[in-house]
Structure 1
């Protein structure tokens, strides 16, 4: 049976990809005809356009009239550019807002003659319609390394009257006509990506009317700092915005702490989101310590020996909000971390998904949630020679993540917890010598997780076992579309800088290819080793096989008996053809591409290196995933 299924999958691949043989060595793919490898590595459970290029996620909103959620993204092809969207009522399956030409807004107006960059949506805006505040571009190029042309990026309005299929630009000039000049004539690095939000605490502290909208715009000041510029709605139709100052700045290319847990601030901020979180999800109760922001940073070299992008990092920050002595509102970070450690994962954008949305009602969720989508570029931000024409599409959005405040209880109060890092000590128990830690919690959106696990085509189980060396799993999926869940326990003796312990899994493995995912104790890192991941990389330029790595600390946990143990590593690995996402302990995500070629590259194995025996819990594989775009498959 297994050989029959494998054969059918191979025939399907040949039919879709012009007779290519995935049981033989690949050719140089860059000399093939356009679209000849369209299906070879295409994911099926992710948000991506029907073809061509996907860019930043942005402009999401829940339609208050229908309860549907709109996931927006920048889109470009040889003939057009702008923003497109998928609409969902369950956060599992999507339909294109415009099936034929996916754009709902494109450049070419008096405010945006050259480009439309990121923006965000007020769901109930002008005349009760969804209203988009977006970056209108009139001069290019724009980059933090070159002088900025005054007025190159402005903020303009567009309104939809047809449920989001088209956003019509408001017939007026930009509502924010460029970067603030200030008393020192600010020489900005950028001024883009307006993000709108409401917040009760802001209303109270600033004396605003209840329900006022605020807006942060990302950028920085040359040779000085990275910044978020804050604005407040002035009139009911959002045509005037009051500048409230740079509510958060960081000196250029400095670090949070020593940089281990959140890299560098870089030289320019991009795609800033501002929101408040509680333990259950989105929180708008007005606590000054509940504020979070996600930002993309440009230009900072990661200061630890990890293979993170030297140009782009996607970070999250939690902090306190207060009024300064001069009456301006200020944000002061208290912890910071990496939202996704993948070197090509960037430009996160999120939005409130209220309990009244269709998806929440269907799933029985009674809390407001904050969902964030992250972009995964597959050509190193346009810098590699990846065979995009032959593939016919490039890039994807990653699995939507629910963000909330997370806690780690019963952590032994030792040197591991006292660091300027991506967690805070928020509670002490002197009787047990433990603390409670707070951090950002990241989970796969619950609707999709349920759909993947409850409706799997096949479910495989591998019993728990202790291992002291590599071994094969007794199970193997028949395809490259699955989710694997597993847990790993390390002995206390594995901890230490001289530890040689590594443990994890081999995926997408055959005699010719294999990808290793493991935790390395001596530098507290999750690793995705792609050195032997792709037979196609040997002949085809632009297919990356570099190592991906990210920092994850496993704390010492006090057990009920009074003894302590190393925190269990809880892994969820999503394999959606070439997209691989590693989720760990509800606080770590690292996403990448694995360009396996051979049909036989679907085996799984254990990784155990070093002098210690490692305990693996039950391993479960849910095969099949879901088709996120069923109407495209018709």
Structure 2
């Protein structure tokens, strides 16, 4: 439920907690509760939402020019894609704020979208929730809408058919009526993008779908279409009320006009927004250049997104929420844009159906340009972690020639952090010979390490995977059930690159940013890959860092920089 208040320029971040709670930020780094005693700005219990309030999104200048929230009002539970859907259990309702987002007052009327669409036969939906409001110039032209019309994409699916997004258009100036435009995007149940290597499964039901357009500079009203979504799926037979698997995905493509006059979104590339098993429910919003954060940093219009990093298997487990007194976290916000990879050798690596598409070609050089989703930490966070560091140090890069298979080898840093709050940047270059030999060389870092426990983060060239090995991450896991120690992994292709001045090709360098925030570890790679996870290191001495290498081929580590301290995200809570 994020938005920029046009009156104050503050960015509002919303999250579900006994209803919906919220905070404001003027720098995307530090946050202030909208209400210090109770940050909840809307609760269930009204005539439209007697049971629950689910995700929604905000029109910044809505009814009477005030921020207007369109959210899912829930009248019946349980709701799950594995069980029959109760008609009318999810509707979409409006609420407005008159006090800068401290409270949202529900309109004294029924839902503005009273349930899933129906024609001659009502759709047997798996879900109908998480309305996402957006504006789009191409949809305005296609539907001959007034410029600046608002559209709503509602996430869900249809039993025995597959997941989809339902598209609506603003019908009245006061947003109280919405016109159904059709299922603008759907996929067959539990199907995959390509072979499923780069974008997992579309699943049976979609949640928290976001729609935006972007160019390489950031948010762009005339840019490429992008959609982010959470996909729910499982292996048959599926037990009722079991979460099974969830994946946080993205897709990009074009819209086309159908014979009946509607539009259809057709992906041309797709991937994981975050490969972490606990990363889900990404919610983003346009942060305009006029916002306080952007004015401070000099950023233009951009699309900023947050992810939910659950630590209790999406609410299926009691541990560790009961023990620690809180559950889950939001990850560091990210800027999304259209990414570009230049001077890529035109070989078999680029021809696969993946998380990229060819957008240019240089036949004489034998290279192509690729487009993908670009994502990285918001610039304000990166700057704050460097400029406010309590200590910063560097580790000289080195070339490691060979290491034994199985155990590998580690080279300890000459200095390691004193705490578990730091940002680390590094680069690793693999030789072209290793690709040709299909070598199983691995290289990366050992972090949160002591003689009792450690976590490995490494890239394995043979299967193009970036892996977080948590098998020895927590000594407490040996005596405490529920601490997750299974490995996390994601696919990242390092392409062959040949620049204009280069006589031979080379393997694309792996550029890493590793953020350690106590128990949360986020790994960013090459401005297009992220994997987030939890690491519950137990011993206070588990702060050491080391280079890690395994295999016969030489690997070159660049200089490593560590900035310790991070920033207190909630300074007023600490007073």
TM tier, smaller: over 0.9
Match of 1:610 in 2: 551
Q: Secondary structure at the match of 1:204?
A: helix
Task: Give, in whole Å, the separation in 1 of the partners of 2:474 and 2:317.
Answer: 16
Task: Give, in whole Å, the separation in 1 of the partners of 2:199 and 2:436.
Answer: 22
The within-5 A match list for 1:361-372 is 361-365=295-299, 367-372=300-305
The within-5 A match list for 1:552-631 is 552-559=492-499, 560-631=501-572
2:211 aligned to which of 274, 287, 296: 274
CA RMSD of aligned residues (A): 1.2
Match of 1:36 in 2: none
Match of 1:349 in 2: 283
Task: Give, in whole Å, the separation in 2 of the partners of 1:546 and 1:609.
Answer: 20
TM-score (norm 1): 0.87
Match of 1:40 in 2: none
Distance apart, 1:389 and its partner CA:
2.1
Q: Secondary structure at the match of 1:631?
A: coil
Distance apart, 1:463 and its partner CA:
1.0
- Structure with greater contact order relative to length (CA < 8 Å, sep ≥ 6): 1
Match of 1:149 in 2: 86
Distance apart, 1:387 and its partner CA:
2.9
Q: 1:430 to 1:300 in 2, by over 3 A?
A: farther
Q: Secondary structure at the match of 1:111?
A: coil
Contact 1:385–1:541 (Cα < 8 Å) also in 2: no
Task: Give, in whole Å, the separation in 1 of the partners of 2:256 and 2:495.
Answer: 32
2:386 aligned to which of 436, 453, 457: 453
- Determine if the alignment matches structure 1 residue 390 to structure 2 residue 327: no
Deviation by residue 1:193-247 (Cα, 9 ceiling, x = unmatched) = 0000011111111100111100010001000121100000011111100000000
Contact 1:265–1:300 (Cα < 8 Å) also in 2: no
Deviation by residue 1:107-160 (Cα, 9 ceiling, x = unmatched) = 000000000000000000001110000000000000000000000000000000
Match of 2:240 in 1: none
Unaligned residue ranges in structure 1 (runs of 5+): 1-58, 76-80, 303-308
Unaligned residue ranges in structure 2 (runs of 5+): 237-242, 404-409
Distance apart, 1:497 and its partner CA:
8.0
Match of 1:256 in 2: 193
Q: 1:593 to 1:602 in 2, by over 3 A?
A: same
Match of 1:416 in 2: 349
Distance apart, 1:390 and its partner CA:
2.2
Match of 1:134 in 2: 71
Q: Secondary structure at the match of 2:477?
A: helix
Distance apart, 1:182 and its partner CA:
1.9
Match of 1:333 in 2: 267
The within-5 A match list for 1:525-540 is 525-540=465-480
Match of 1:20 in 2: none
Contact 2:278–2:310 (Cα < 8 Å) also in 1: yes
Q: Secondary structure at the match of 1:633?
A: coil
Contact 2:439–2:553 (Cα < 8 Å) also in 1: no
Q: Secondary structure at the match of 2:371?
A: strand
Q: 1:371 to 1:464 in 2, by over 3 A?
A: same
Structure 1 runs of 4+ off > 3 angstroms? none
Contact 1:385–1:542 (Cα < 8 Å) also in 2: no
Task: Give, in whole Å, the separation in 2 of the partners of 1:220 and 1:444.
Answer: 32
Task: Give, in whole Å, the separation in 2 of the partners of 1:529 and 1:141.
Answer: 36
- Determine if the alignment matches structure 1 residue 547 to structure 2 residue 487: yes
Q: Secondary structure at the match of 1:416?
A: helix
The within-5 A match list for 1:293-312 is 293-300=227-234, 311-312=245-246
Q: 1:575 to 1:529 in 2, by over 3 A?
A: same
